[in-house]
């Protein structure tokens, strides 16, 4: 038994501003019906004594140890740059603003 009609799919497509052909409406009505039936089947199996989960396995973040490092030498970095001025990178102006 179909739970989603072709007209309902057309209405939702219209709300989403998606232009679907007649063949696409027929195909999507069938595909969406299968999805709705699958969700209903899972809902029948789910019981109140099973806690809701987002992942089957517990997740933990893996962080590296934060070890302070000495900063990079500014003069060495600027020496490798194509252009530098007053201790800063010199880049071409891209906006029409005055410097």
Q: Is the pTM of this model over 0.75?
A: no
**What percent of the chain is helix, strand and coil (3-state, nearest 5)?**
40, 5, 55
In CATH, the architecture of 6-45 is Orthogonal Bundle (1.10)
Q: What is the pLDDT of residues 36-73, one digit of tens each?
A: 999 888 878 767 777 777 788 888 888 888 899 999 99
Ramachandran angles phi, psi of 89, nearest 5°: -70, 140
Q: What is the pLDDT of residues 81-96, one digit of tens each?
A: 999 999 999 998 888 7
């Amino acid at each position: 038994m179909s739970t989603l009609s072709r007209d309902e799919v057309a209405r939702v497509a219209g709300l989403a501003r998606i232009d679907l052909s007649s063949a696409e409406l027929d195909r999507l009505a069938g595909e969406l019906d299968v999805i709705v039936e699958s969700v209903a089947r899972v809902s029948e199996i789910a019981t109140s004594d099973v806690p809701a989960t987002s992942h089957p396995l517990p997740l933990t973040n893996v962080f590296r140890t934060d070890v302070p490092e000495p900063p990079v030498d500014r003069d060495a970095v600027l020496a490798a740059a194509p252009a530098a001025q007053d201790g800063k990178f010199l880049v071409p102006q891209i906006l029409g603003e005055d410097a």
